[in-house]
Structure 1
Amino acid sequence: MPVLDDARALWRARALVAVMTRREIAARYAGAAGGIAWAYVQPLLTVAAYFLVFDVVFAMRLGENAPTHRAGAYLIVGSLPWMAFCDTLGRTMNSLLDAGSVLQKNALPPVLFVARSAFASSIVYAPLILLLAVAYIPAHHMSPALLALPVLLALQVLLCLTLGYLLAILAAALRDTVQIVGFLLSVGIFLSPVLFPLSLFPAAWRWVLWLNPMTPLLLGYQNVLLQGAWPSWASWAGAGAWWLVALALLAAAVRRSREQLVDWL
């Protein structure tokens, strides 16, 4: 099975992927005085602005059924995973296009370049999401449910890697994929529980939010960080279902593109 061959190739070349990941992170901020620090400063400033505007200035509060009453705290927990999702998909989707000249000259597995971009984004955002566990101690009181946080992060990385590889193949075959996915990511935040609790969305249309692959993971993060509770079975099942769907589509895409991918690039 081609997708299993890619998984084995990724594992065998894990040392090479680590080197490639470090180089990509360094290349993103080459020439900047702040260096890699900018990778962390930008999302931190964004969530700080949410807290200042919604919790301090406007003191906005959510409804009774929300995971927390503080609007800024709610936005921070949803926005960081969402930013990580968008950044990872955006970079992985373009990874094969950017590496086209290298792949045409070297018989390297394409998955290495997808993994490089996915892991580079994860190295930036995963520590920030884990830092929320410390920042939200007053909310979760160091609940044992925090043990679910690394699992949620691992599921998100796995989902992004799978979806990113699929989109990278589609982008190689059809360049319009980049514009279409960019648009979907820009509107996807409005079809997820990032800006508002699930309970505020019309009950008859809540199924639409589950068409967003990040919805189950976002609900899981909110359960853990805002309520100190274990993610619901719906969060685990939804995240698992989305990954299996993405994996099935990826397997089909890898099988059909194996002989033509380098030519498309």
Structure 2
Amino acid sequence: MLTLWTEMRAVWNARALVWVLTRREVAARHAGTAVGVLWPYLQPLLTVAAYYLVFDVVFSMRLGAEAPTHAVGTFLVVGALPWMAFCDAVSRGMNSLIEAGGLLQKNPLPPVLLVARAVLASMVIYGPLLLLVALAYAPLHHFSLAVLAFAPLLALQLILCLLLGYLLAILAAALRDTVQLVGFSLSVGIYLTPILFPLSLFPENWRWVLWLNPATALVLGYQQVLLLGAWPPASVWLVGLLWLAGLALALNLVVERSRDQLVDWL
């Protein structure tokens, strides 16, 4: 794991530069728009607000007794926003090296800095929105101490997206088909995550399939905290840590083997 440790240390040593690059990345997302800096935040916020309006207010749809909450819109908001954050961070992280190929060929920057910029820019946008949702749901459980689990869940999501985004960025540089394959996987991945349905409705013998999605542990953790006011079960943390360990091992191997060819691929 020495190679991965060196990469993470490079990010820490250049944290001032990474923060400048992150701010520019966020600013570039709303450049030329009338709403300005609010637009990147309004788009996902309006999306989840539409879920709540349609399913809770208009149709008044309800889930079964075993669901963490009966209101469909309320259930969807808690899962959909973390999923959008996950997809945005992973997708932008995956494309970061390809988009910055010219820059890397002219400047001896560690490639991991550009991946970190893309992932952090996504979290700068979605992080406050997730906190806003947490503040909206916390009073439902009288500000239970379980809300403190929200912080490690956010940290878990950030690290997971950084590792996965970096791994996919290298694979995409080597084989452009990776972008198409991952794009399709993210588009259908919502159906393999307990976002549109509670975990209790999925066939018990096939629930292991859902755990193959790295976002499942995150979504279940957020649901436990925000919908039930309970600390996420050990299975959420265990699966999340297993995903981190697996991605770290794979990324360490891929970075070590691609170090000399990566810039040429771009």
TM-score, reference length from structure 2: 0.98
Offset of residue 187 of structure 1: 0.6
| Contact 1:118-1:160 within 8 A present in 2 as well | yes
Name the structure 2 match of 1:264. Answer: 265
Look up the SS of the partner of 1:10 in the other structure.
helix
Name the structure 2 match of 1:166. Answer: 167
Offset of residue 138 of structure 1: 4.2
Name the structure 2 match of 1:79. Answer: 80
Look up the SS of the partner of 2:196 in the other structure.
coil
| Contact 2:138-2:229 within 8 A present in 1 as well | no
Aligned equivalents of 2:219, 2:138: Cα separation in 1:
19
Offset of residue 204 of structure 1: 1.0
1:98 counterpart letter in structure 2: E
Offset of residue 135 of structure 1: 1.1
* Bigger Cα displacement from structure 2, 132-141 vs 77-86: 132-141
1:111 counterpart letter in structure 2: V
Offset of residue 202 of structure 1: 0.7
| Deviation by residue 1:77-127 (Cα, 9 ceiling, x = unmatched) | 000000000000110000000110010011110000000000000000011
Name the structure 2 match of 1:90. Answer: 91
Offset of residue 33 of structure 1: 1.2
| Deviation by residue 1:33-82 (Cα, 9 ceiling, x = unmatched) | 11121111011111111111100111011011111011000000000000
Percent of residue pairs bearing the same amino acid type = 65
Look up the SS of the partner of 2:35 in the other structure.
coil
Aligned equivalents of 1:34, 1:10: Cα separation in 2:
32
| Contact 1:223-1:230 within 8 A present in 2 as well | yes
Alignment RMSD (CA, Å) = 0.7
Name the structure 2 match of 1:211. Answer: 212
Aligned equivalents of 1:89, 1:133: Cα separation in 2:
22
| Deviation by residue 1:129-166 (Cα, 9 ceiling, x = unmatched) | 11112211343220000101011001000000000000
Name the structure 1 match of 2:37. Answer: 36
2:246 counterpart letter in structure 1: V
Look up the SS of the partner of 2:232 in the other structure.
coil
| Contact 2:138-2:147 within 8 A present in 1 as well | no
Equivalent residue runs for 1:49-128 within 5 Å: 49-128=50-129
Name the structure 2 match of 1:188. Answer: 189
| Contact 2:83-2:215 within 8 A present in 1 as well | yes
Q: What is the count of residue pairs matched by the alignment?
A: 265
Unaligned runs of 5+ in 1: none
Look up the SS of the partner of 2:36 in the other structure.
coil
1:41 counterpart letter in structure 2: L
Aligned equivalents of 1:104, 1:138: Cα separation in 2:
52
Aligned equivalents of 1:231, 1:215: Cα separation in 2:
12
Aligned equivalents of 2:51, 2:182: Cα separation in 1:
26
Aligned equivalents of 1:49, 1:106: Cα separation in 2:
44
Runs of 4+ in 1 over 6 A off after TM superposition: none
| Contact 1:140-1:224 within 8 A present in 2 as well | no
Equivalent residue runs for 1:126-137 within 5 Å: 126-137=127-138
Aligned equivalents of 1:118, 1:152: Cα separation in 2:
16
Name the structure 2 match of 1:246. Answer: 247
Name the structure 2 match of 1:147. Answer: 148
